Amino acid sequence: MTEGARAGDDVNVAQAGEPEAASRREPGDVLVRVRGLRKHFPIRSGMTRRRAGTVKAVDGLDFDIREGETLGLVGESGCGKSTTGRMVMRLLEPSEGTIEFGGRDLTRLSRGQLRPLRRDFQMIFQDPQSSLNPRHTVGTIVGLPFRLQKVTPEGGVKKAVQELLELVGLSPEHYNRYPHEFSGGQRQRIGIARALALRPKLVVADEPVSALDVSIQAQVVNLLDDLQSEFGLTYLIIAHDLSVVRHTSDRVAVMYLGKIVEIADREDLYSSPKHPYTVALMSAVPVPDPARRESRDRILLKGDVPSPMDPPPACRFHTRCWKAQDICKTQEPPLAELTTRHQVACHFPENMPTEDGAGEAVLLAKPAPADAVAAGEGAEAVAETSAEAPAETSADGAAEPVAESSTDSPAETPAAASPKAPDEAPGKDTPPTPAP
């Protein structure tokens, strides 16, 4: 996690203010290397259970996670985040692709071969209530990894469990209590203690705070941060809440309909989002300062997310993108490194630096004349000014994105969250329809 990510203990993560510039750690070696990862779920129907279709939940992901870093994975509900996390944990078999962990391809290992490696990667689940067996005591729950892996810690399992409880801010006396005797935040601490029992290298946290009361989200985020510093953990943090990702991640990957559309260092992504979908998501992030909030333009993406059973061809975002042109419907943009450590899958990215540093868009594909292109054919972006405090703190909230541009990041940058007028950009980006 980032140093600047630390929020006050009693502060909602979403309202913890702008993170300070993070001190960049030198990235370590690659711990996790994912290539061509796919998960297609067959859908069956009828008495004969014949195959009625395929959900392309994850459809070709490439990304690395380096030792000691936190990669945030963000996107709207149903875009494939949890499926990705579960495949990285090998709780779900990939349809295609490789997942290397410390140089070994996990997808080629049998269950037996995988078992001893499992202690190196552990998962924290979204719902601490359902992920803890209500019939087991805390001692049994947190001690389970030792028993499963047949590990006898020095001093015995009980002592080790009690130390873990203290580590996550619980009392050793909680050892004999049951999950229902704890609050949501405490239950998540129990889940964290269990995940850390065997001192894993990688922790996949799927929506680790979204089930928690906002008042304790920051406490859990800070705990994860402290534990990372203490044990040199590597995190994959999955969240639909952009504020959580912003406060926890060194790098952020943005997913849309089973694909990564943008991946970059956190500051770079938030100050200069390049994929139009990221721009829309970022502009929905709430700003604590009401004065700045009022000056933001908001982008409304029209329409629902298409079905992962029948995703749009080429660029999957083209049905909702205000910049879509013909090429977007016929040629899939590759996830390419457009600036240093910043990969984007878009033919017409935003916020590209120019030679004079003006920050105008640099087009990767030759656009059609502006008047020959329909405005995204149903993918209408609407800029509006709203004095309302945005309720949305999440990618879900931006499914009907209510995105704002503001004087702070990311809309501070010229093009962020403010789609250009036709004569403004050299590429004649298809403009959004201004709100009345």
Ligand X SMILES: Nc1ncnc2c1ncn2[C@@H]1O[C@H](COP(=O)(O)OP(=O)(O)OP(=O)(O)O)[C@@H](O)[C@H]1O
Size of the site for Mg ion (CB under 5 A): 1
Q: How many CB atoms lie within 10 A of CB 307?
A: 13
User: At 52, phi and psi to the nearest 5?
Assistant: -100, -10
Residue 348 interaction partner, one of ligand X, ligand SF4, Mg ion, none, beta carbon < 5-8 Å per kind:
ligand SF4
Q: Please choose, out of 73-81, 241-249, 284-292, 318-326, the segment that lies near ligand SF4 by the rule CB under 6 A.
A: 318-326
Mask: binding to ligand SF4, 262-281, rule CB under 6 A, as x and -?
-------------xx-----
**Which residue in the set 318, 342, 420, 428 belongs to the binding site for ligand SF4 (CB under 6 A)?**
318
Q: Does 131 bind Mg ion (CB under 5 A)?
A: no
Looking at the Cβ atoms of 305 and 328, the one nearer to ligand SF4 is 328
According to the binding rule CB under 5 A, does residue 82 interact with Mg ion? Answer: yes
Give me 165's structure tokens. Answer: 């409880």
The residue (of 21 and 43) whose beta carbon lies closer to ligand X is 43
Q: Can you tell me the distance from the alpha carbon of 80 to that of 395, in angstroms, rounded to the nearest whole number? A: 13
The number of CA neighbours under 13 Å toward the Cβ of 171 is 5
* Closest-CA residue to 99 (of 145, 25, 39): 39
* 56 near ligand SF4, rule: CB under 6 A: no
Residues recorded for the chain:
436
294 burial (CB, 10 Å; 0-12 / 13-18 / 19+) is: middle
From the list Mg ion, ligand SF4, ligand X, none, partner contacted by residue 204 (C-beta under 5 to 8 A by kind):
none
Q: Rounded to whole angstroms, how far apart are CA atoms 164 and 181?
A: 18
Buried b or exposed e, range 370-392, using 16+ CB within 10 angstroms:
beebebbeebbbbbbeeeeebeb
Which residue from 1, 346, 352, 411 is in contact with ligand SF4, where contact means CB under 6 A? 346
Name the binder of 333 from Mg ion, ligand SF4, ligand X, none, CB < 5-8 A by kind: ligand SF4
Cα 153 to Cα 207: distance, rounded to the nearest angstrom? 30
Q: Can residue 256 be called a binding residue for ligand SF4 (CB under 6 A)?
A: no
Tell me the HSE value of 408 on the side-chain side, using a 13 A CA sphere: 16
Q: Considering the complex, state which of residue 196 and residue 335 has its C-beta at the smaller distance from ligand SF4.
A: 335
Determine if 348 is a binding residue for ligand SF4 (CB under 6 A). yes
* Closest CB to ligand SF4 among residues 68, 401: 401
Give 152 or 307: the residue with its C-beta nearer to ligand X: 307
What does 110-132 look like in DSSP terms, one character per residue?
-HHHHGGGGGGEEEE-S-HHHHS
Residue 276 touches which of ligand X, ligand SF4, Mg ion, none (CB < 5 to 8 A by kind)? ligand SF4
The Cβ of residue 332 has, within 10 Å, a number of other Cβ atoms equal to 14
Residues at the contact surface with ligand X, assessed by CB under 6 A:
41, 55, 57, 75, 77-83, 240, 308
Point out which residues pair with 74 in neighbouring strands. Answer: 239, 254
Strand 70-75 to 234-239 pairing:
parallel
Q: Least distance to ligand SF4 from the beta carbon of 346, Å?
A: 3
Match 């050793």 to its residue by tokens: 172
Q: Give the orientation angle of helix 157-167 with respect to helix 184-196, to 10 degrees.
A: 130
Least distance (Å) from ligand X to the CB of residue 436? Answer: 33
Residue 315 contact among ligand X, ligand SF4, Mg ion, none, beta carbon within 5 to 8 Å by kind = ligand SF4
Taking the complex as a whole, the smallest distance from the CB of residue 101 to ligand SF4 amounts, in Å, to 32
Does residue 323 touch ligand SF4 according to CB under 6 A?
yes
Nearest CA among 80, 122, 125 for reference residue 101: 122
Give the shortest CB-333-to-ligand SF4 separation in angstroms.
5
Query: How far from 116 is each of 106, 109, 148, 344, 420, CA to CA, in Å?
Result: 12, 11, 10, 37, 54
For tokens 């083209």, what's the residue?
318
Binding segment toward Mg ion, per CB under 5 A, in 68-76, 79-87, 109-117, 134-142: 79-87
- Partner whose binding site includes residue 80, from ligand X, ligand SF4, Mg ion, none (CB under 5 to 8 Å by kind): ligand X
Q: Which of 58, 223, 269, 315 binds ligand SF4 (CB under 6 A)?
A: 315
Rule CB under 6 A: say whether 1 interacts with ligand SF4. no
Contact status: 83 vs Mg ion (CB under 5 A): no
Residue 324 binds ligand SF4, judged by CB under 6 A: yes
Residue 95: CB minimum distance to ligand X, A: 12
Looking at the Cβ atoms of 54 and 149, the one nearer to ligand X is 54
Question: Per CB under 6 A, does 333 bind ligand SF4?
Answer: yes
Closest CA to 192 of 154, 240, 233: 233
Which residues sit at the interface with ligand SF4, rule CB under 6 A? 275-276, 315, 317-318, 321, 323-324, 328, 333, 346-348
